[in-house]
């Protein structure tokens, strides 16, 4: 009987189901099927024997990785840069959304939104070229000014501290607009009557923000935080690859670039599969931990 009742609803929504087919196909082909390749991490993979017939080695690849000081250093670099990106980059869109939400001139608000959202569409090749042009030691206008003021140019891209600052800042600049739009959408759902009631009770602008605005978007904040924790080890390959150089290799070598050099260039697919598997497990643990923490505030994702 229930199946009979569902049939008209299924027929009515059939166009939506058909539109959803490419999404399902994408995740099946590019997300779920490649998971079968994880068995390479437990094998001594070679092209001649293939994935299924390559000899099993158990946890040997993991032992080789984690007994190597370079691998541990690279994992530490990845954690360090990821937490810097999260700690600096996560609050910025929230603050920017709160500031934009208070603007009364709609044309000015839309102009600022467009300006901060535009870098999201630039590839890291373009952004990396812009950064190199701005901070170049030999030809940048910035370093010409520094040389005029202090007698010598400063190697912004060749010193660890300045490189990390540029790395984090460029990531925040490029991606803050995308999250800002999400927070602005969440802010639009807050009932204006709550602000009126808070104002009548004598609440200042700061108290209205703390007691009305932030609780109103807390669900969105926690959702994006949980998703961000799942990408804690995914320091963007494009960003690092376009900004790094030999002078800062001790801090710019991360898991994604190591997998590229070790696996794609070096052909050691089993080792890189083991490292990728470790990365996925850590991301899963962080997602569960963040979700358990959010559950205490009744804001869990699942």
Q: Quick check: 292 and 222 in contact, CB under 8 A? A: no
Query: Phi first, then psi: what are they for 43, rounded to 5°?
Result: -130, 165
> H or E segment at 194?
helix 192-200
Q: Which DSSP symbol is given to 279?
A: H
Is CATH 1.10.3720.10 the classification given to domain 69-295? Answer: yes
CA separation for the pair 269, 257 (Å, rounded): 14
What are the DSSP calls for 223-239, one per residue?
Answer: HHHHHHHTTTT---HHH
Domain ranges of the chain: 1-32, 69-295
Report the chain (302 residues): mean pLDDT per 10 consecutive residues. 64 85 92 86 86 88 88 89 89 91 85 88 90 86 88 90 92 90 89 85 85 87 83 80 88 88 85 87 84 74 64
pLDDT in tens, 175-217: 898 889 899 888 988 888 888 888 888 888 888 888 888 888 8
Q: Which residue has the tokens 């990408």?
A: 231
**Paired strand residues for 56:** 43
CA separation for the pair 270, 72 (Å, rounded): 17
Q: What pLDDT sits at residue 1? A: 47
| Rg of the Cα atoms in the chain | 24
Residues in contact with 85: Cβ distance below 8 Å, sequence separation at least 6, in sequence order: 168, 171, 172, 235
Q: What pLDDT sits at residue 200? A: 84
Q: Quick check: 157 and 97 in contact, CB under 8 A? A: no
Residues in the chain, total = 302
Q: Which residue has the tokens 């940048």?
A: 140
Q: What pLDDT sits at residue 279? A: 85
Tokens at 216, concatenated: 């109103």
Q: What pLDDT sits at residue 6? A: 67
């Amino acid at each position: 009987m229930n199946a009979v009742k569902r049939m008209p609803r299924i027929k009515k929504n059939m166009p939506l189901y058909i539109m959803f087919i490419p999404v399902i196909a994408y995740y099946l082909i590019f997300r779920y099927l490649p998971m079968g390749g994880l068995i390479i991490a437990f094998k001594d993979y070679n092209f001649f024997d293939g994935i299924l017939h390559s000899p099993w080695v158990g946890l040997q690849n993991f032992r080789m990785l984690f007994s190597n000081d370079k691998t541990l250093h690279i994992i530490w670099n990845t954690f360090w840069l990821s937490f810097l990106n999260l700690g600096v980059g996560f609050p910025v869109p929230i603050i920017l959304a709160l500031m934009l939400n208070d603007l009364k001139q709609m044309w000015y608000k839309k102009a600022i939104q467009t300006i901060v959202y535009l870098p999201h569409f630039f590839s890291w090749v373009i952004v990396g070229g812009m950064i190199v042009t701005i901070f170049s030691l030999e030809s940048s206008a910035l370093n010409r000014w520094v040389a005029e003021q202090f007698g010598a140019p400063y190697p912004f891209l060749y010193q660890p501290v300045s490189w990390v600052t540029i790395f984090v800042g460029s990531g925040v600049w490029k991606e803050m607009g995308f999250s800002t739009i999400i927070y602005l959408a969440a802010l639009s759902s807050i009932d204006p009557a709550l602000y009126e009631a808070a104002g009548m009770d004598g609440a200042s602008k700061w108290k209205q923000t703390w007691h009305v605005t932030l609780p109103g978007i807390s669900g969105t904040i926690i959702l994006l935080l949980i998703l961000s924790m799942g990408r804690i080890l995914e320091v963007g390959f494009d960003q690092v690859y376009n900004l790094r150089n030999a002078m800062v290799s001790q801090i710019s070598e991360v898991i994604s670039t190591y997998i590229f050099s070790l696996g794609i260039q070096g052909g050691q697919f089993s080792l890189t599969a083991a490292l990728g598997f470790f990365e996925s497990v850590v991301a899963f643990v962080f997602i569960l931990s963040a979700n358990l923490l959010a559950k205490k505030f009744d804001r869990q994702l699942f």
